[in-house]
Chains A and B, each alone.
Chain A
């Protein structure tokens, strides 16, 4: 378990991390999510020991590790640029951690072969990193970290450099490796979709502090602040009759041709479609309601061509349960 207690990190006159408290549980897939400059990568570096906190305390597995150098910490890191040693073969890269801790040659060769098999790179041991594709380097970096059997694996935007298809595939693979090994993953990303797909728990960062922590569902369905609502997915925000900020997700809104039957317990607003974009599985429609609000609506795409076009008169309707009020 990793505990951060009141941890702050200042660089010259910039506060990168501001009084962060966080408990990372054993075996969980925790994602640190936030825009660039929000402090999430600095938190990861503070856990790894690449940076030392200006104030506060870092505990790893029950031990105060605040001032431990990285080589004394029972965590391993997968770097954003992979940081593979260019002068070593794939096998030597993967064996490196075992070599420096004095594991005998046959044992570490076997462990490295296992780790490479886990990431489906058997047979690549004699290659140099520059003979591999981006995705393969990413897997070597993962194997190099996992071979040390750390209790906590830190991943710093490891999928950022991969193309979309490969990224999706690696998301699922990382998740399944984490489930099989049962070790703690601390995953840094600015991609909210990636965070929702992979995490047991998401911690949202902004301006050096934690804004909200919770399961993907909790973060998505009940964002605690306007920042979270806006950062995770798309959110419609408008003022209610009482002057409060009402939020509703685009996919919770239905489009109807006519006003819903009176008495039905639904919220409804009439308007005109402004924009209609086909996204394959779904269609995004922008509606300007008669009271001047702009709503983004996501509906399943129809295959028969009877789609919504701009300029149509529609009714936007949703269950009262789907909307919520922030602050």
Chain B
């Protein structure tokens, strides 16, 4: 068989395909939407069934109740769980405290992240130093959560490291509790704020800073009118992380919070100790509502479009 025969034969195979494989290939090639659908089917199953499905189950369970005599879940509609959560002063206090912690963690991490990210993206010239700083910022994410929790406990406890350091100055550690919880959560979620803010500063062209200065703006003015509006989407992106991660945390508060309760503890305690799944589900609706409300508020500012 000569070379030319081989080529012509190869070509005719393509021109007149036969076999299931070739027909399937053609069918797929002609239907880009079908291809995309097949490609996405596995992740879609994961997303819909496991994530949206469980979320729907949670919403459904939140209007059920538990028979106080048998302890079994009763699938009849009731608003009792929500009425308790909204009217009982205990839960209202916990809700307010949780929102306060989440807002504090978010605000303080933004205040820390903006100068740190500004320094990393604009002041550091050497790419090697910049990479080292990025690693340093994300390093806490490598360590085990519990190790970090107990490290904070050792530092902040009554006879802990901080107390030992402050005693010569006549001062004492604030000890474990709400403040310790806030500090520890701030530490935990800070990288999630710094990294998107850093990315926003990276996208900010230096020529814009030159231009503002060239037009007569002093540094603070440039920062207020040019830098801040343009890195705000990064701050918003970071705040979504810090805010919702704080809302959902129940372990750190157990380690460094002493008796302090946050909203996620209500959920956890009702699943475990109380065995009241419907009430836990109703409590879990609270962070969902808050985060959705937060996202809607953020969307109104237009910050989400530039993410």
Pair B229/A71 contact, Cβ less than 8 Å? no
Pair B230/A87 contact, Cβ less than 8 Å? yes
Pair B205/A81 contact, Cβ less than 8 Å? yes
Which residues of B (222-245) have their CB < 8 Å from a CB of A?
Answer: 225-226, 229-230
Name A144's closest neighbour in chain B (CB-CB).
B215
Pair B216/A101 contact, Cβ less than 8 Å? yes
Q: Tell me the minimal C-beta distance from B267 to chain A in angstroms.
A: 40
Name B215's closest neighbour in chain A (CB-CB).
A97
Determine the chain B residues whose CB is within 8 A of the CB of A49 once the complex forms: 213-214
Q: Tell me the minimal C-beta distance from B225 to chain A in angstroms.
A: 8
Pair B211/A85 contact, Cβ less than 8 Å? yes
Q: Is B218 an interface residue (CB 8 A)?
A: yes
Pair A81/B215 contact, Cβ less than 8 Å? no
Q: What is the CA–CA distance of A79 and B214 in the complex, to the nearest angstrom?
A: 10
Pair A70/B213 contact, Cβ less than 8 Å? yes
Q: Is B251 an interface residue (CB 8 A)?
A: no
Most-contacted residue by chain A among B214, B216, B225 (CB, 10 A) = B214
Q: Mark A74-94, 1 if CB is under 8 A from B, else 0.
A: 011101110111110000000
Q: Tell me the minimal C-beta distance from B167 to chain A in angstroms.
A: 47
How many residues of chain B are within 8 Å of chain A by beta carbon? 17
Determine the chain B residues whose CB is within 8 A of the CB of A69 once the complex forms: 213
Determine the chain A residues whose CB is within 8 A of the CB of B217 once the complex forms: 71, 96, 100
How many residues of chain A are within 8 Å of chain B by beta carbon? 24
Determine the chain A residues whose CB is within 8 A of the CB of B230 once the complex forms: 86-87
Determine the chain A residues whose CB is within 8 A of the CB of B213 once the complex forms: 49-50, 69-71
Q: Is B292 an interface residue (CB 8 A)?
A: no
Pair A96/B207 contact, Cβ less than 8 Å? no
Q: What is the CA–CA distance of A231 and B102 in the complex, to the nearest angstrom?
A: 64
Pair A77/B210 contact, Cβ less than 8 Å? yes
Q: What is the CA–CA distance of A70 and B226 in the complex, to the nearest angstrom?
A: 16
Q: Is B49 an interface residue (CB 8 A)?
A: no
Pair B216/A81 contact, Cβ less than 8 Å? no
Name B211's closest neighbour in chain A (CB-CB).
A83
Q: Which residues of B contact A (CB under 8 A)?
A: 205, 207-208, 210-218, 221, 225-226, 229-230
Provide a sorted-by-A list of 19 A–B residue pairs whose CB atoms are within 8 angstroms. Answer: A69-B213, A70-B210, A71-B214, A71-B216, A75-B214, A76-B215, A80-B207, A83-B210, A83-B211, A85-B212, A85-B226, A87-B230, A96-B225, A100-B212, A100-B215, A100-B217, A100-B218, A144-B215, A145-B214
Q: Which residues of A contact B (CB under 8 A)?
A: 48-50, 69-71, 75-77, 79-81, 83-87, 96-97, 100-101, 144-145, 148
Instruction: Add 8 more A-B contacts to A71-B216, A81-B205, A96-B217 (CB < 8 A).
Output: A69-B213, A70-B210, A70-B214, A76-B215, A85-B226, A87-B229, A96-B215, A100-B212
